[in-house]
Chain A
Amino acid sequence: MAVNLKRSSGEDSDGGKTSRRKMLGWLTGAGLFGSAALSAVSNFVFIKPRATYGQPQRFSVGKPEDFPEGTRAILASRGICIVRDGARLAAISTTCTHLGCTVGSADTGFACPCHGSRFDQDGNVTGGPAPRPLPWFQITLAPNGEIEVDKDIEIAPGSYLTL
């Protein structure tokens, strides 16, 4: 920054000098506070993890024979429920859409122990505070004959994989 102070003090009136000084002061303040703010933001960039250590979102759950006709098997560690209806298969999430508790199976479908959300057999909300139905995940048959579920891809409720 080339600031010719001598010339300004020589030529400008008193008011002119003050305004230049004010502007420099303002720039200094903005620079300092801007740097401080950027440093503060960089802390958040730092603590936001780039890699997480959770479970894979795409996994195999076994062969279709493992789920005989009429099965409703909750795979707790995966957070899904495998539903077999005739020759059709579906994977419904067991993570409550309200506040993330794990729903359990109930007579009428699913029920959440934390805040009392209730869902029917297809995961539609039948009571309680849950704002959305339980999501259905993409379910495919891998070439080796195993069922593969991808929790990153939600599909429309009611879309089954037909064997």
Chain B
Amino acid sequence: MSRPTAPKTSFLATLMDIPRNVWSSIFRNPLPSNDLERSATSFTNFFLHIHPVKVHKNSLRPAYTFGLGLISFFLFVILIVSGILLMFYYVPSTTQAYDRMLDLRGSVAFGTLLRNMHRWAAHGMVAVVFLHLCRVFLTGSYKKPREFNWVVGVILFLLTLFMSFTGYLLPWDQLAFWAITVGTAIAGYAPVIGKDIQFLLMGGTSVGQEALLRFYVLHVAVLPAILTLMIAIHFWRIRKDGGLSRPEDADPKVTLEPMETSSAPKASVLEPKKVYGFQGLVRGPLTKVGQIPDNTVFSWPNLFLAELFTFVVTLSAILILSLLFNAPLEEPVNALHPPNPAKAPWYFLGLQEMVSYSAFWGGIGVPGIFVLLLLGTPYLDRGPKGVGKWFSRDRLLANTIFITFVVANIIFVIIGTFFRGANWAFVTPW
């Protein structure tokens, strides 16, 4: 790129060079054409330096990750951008919120589209984060050394649900009001602190102005801040834990043979030597120099193109959904007459169905046990086998328990969605 030219000192030449100089001052590297420049791309660019210079081929297999973690992140980005834009027109007031929803529809440029995008990306994020959790579980990726990152991931899943829950109230329509009335009442069944949590969430004894303001602050400030921090930790730990999980045989074992010695072996030579790789302080495979087949490829362009592709597909899907389907908006809040049946969002319908049998066990007991089991999984299931493979037979028990919980919840969601009519009576949808 840097062609040696005779130094020109004329002012005109300086002016002429400004665009090129500005460009090269921003982007340190030209588009890479050799391996050195390819590595430099990864660690000299602020946005790319979170990536490793080289990435394992296994991490790039689409059928291994399905890109679910990345899709979750991109949906979060879409949610932040569309959410900030919506904030310009939203007022968290019981007298204005619903009218503002109608204004978005009627008198704001791109208002409907942005609200649709925000709604569908939110639904999508709940679904994709859950699928990502399933992927990580079913490939055994929570095992050592990734235990804590799994815990961070479970917390991220719960935060995503809470994000969705707090956002649900903001349109201040019938669906919002009664879903939150029911949701906060479920929290009230938690032992000891339940009533206090309910009171703190609602800022009073019923869902009203105070609750709307509280949910708004949680939704646009508190939870996004926590979520962003946790995502940063989540990503950072992926690198520190040695990249994405992969099967044991993906990295051929490096056998370090003792150095040949001319003299007779002494006792010290027979003792196992401590060997450090170049990345001795980072847990993970030793640095391999020319000894064994290299299973990594450069992040530029392999990983970055895959990420760009994922982003384009995610954004296109949300855009197409938003152009085809409008986010629902029900009647304005009528605190006196709940709709019949009053249903929560689909991802809480399994919960609502269980709650219809027992408020404590359905709303607190069973979900609490499930979450505790999820959090404890990497500390209970310590076997090193079955990492990096879908449905590994070495992890039959863990996978069976997990799939049982997931399928049970899906069945409850389906019952709650299609088989419950007025007064939550059992109906058939046909």
Q: Are A48 and B339 closer than 8 Å at their CB atoms?
A: no
Closest A residue to B426 by beta carbon equals A116
Query: What chain B residues lie within 8 Å of A102 (beta carbons)?
Result: 335-338
Residue of A48, A54, A98, A113 with most chain B CB atoms under a 10 A cut-off: A113
Does A129 lie at the interface of the complex (its beta carbon under 8 Å from any beta carbon of B)?
A: yes
Interface size class of B (residues with CB under 8 A): 35 or more
Does B424 lie at the interface of the complex (its beta carbon under 8 Å from any beta carbon of A)?
A: yes
Closest B residue to A48 by beta carbon equals B200
Of B31-39, B243-251, B252-260, B355-363, the one contacting chain A is B355-363
Q: Are B355 and A115 closer than 8 Å at their CB atoms?
A: yes
Query: What chain A residues lie within 8 Å of B209 (beta carbons)?
Result: 53
Does A19 lie at the interface of the complex (its beta carbon under 8 Å from any beta carbon of B)?
A: no
Q: Are A99 and B182 closer than 8 Å at their CB atoms?
A: yes
Does B398 lie at the interface of the complex (its beta carbon under 8 Å from any beta carbon of A)?
A: no
Does more than half of chain A's interface fall in helix, strand or loop, or is it mixed? Answer: loop
Does A128 lie at the interface of the complex (its beta carbon under 8 Å from any beta carbon of B)?
A: yes
Instruction: Give the shortest distance, in Å, between A154 (CB) and chain B (any CB).
Output: 15
Q: Are A52 and B210 closer than 8 Å at their CB atoms?
A: yes
Does B203 lie at the interface of the complex (its beta carbon under 8 Å from any beta carbon of A)?
A: yes
Task: Report A74-130 residues with CB < 8 Å from chain B CB.
Answer: 76-77, 98-102, 104, 106, 111-116, 118, 128-129
Q: Are A112 and B423 closer than 8 Å at their CB atoms?
A: yes
Does B167 lie at the interface of the complex (its beta carbon under 8 Å from any beta carbon of A)?
A: no
Does B220 lie at the interface of the complex (its beta carbon under 8 Å from any beta carbon of A)?
A: no
Q: Select one of B200, B203, B205, B338 contacting A113, CB under 8 A.
A: B338
- 5 closest residue pairs by CB, A with B: A116-B424, A76-B336, A113-B340, A99-B185, A52-B204
B interface with A by C-beta (< 8 Å): 178, 181-182, 184-186, 196, 199-200, 203-206, 208-210, 214, 335-342, 352, 355-359, 362-363, 422-425
19 contacts between A and B (CB under 8 A): A47-B200, A47-B203, A49-B204, A52-B203, A54-B205, A76-B336, A77-B336, A98-B185, A99-B182, A99-B185, A99-B186, A100-B206, A101-B181, A101-B338, A113-B423, A116-B423, A116-B425, A129-B356, A129-B362
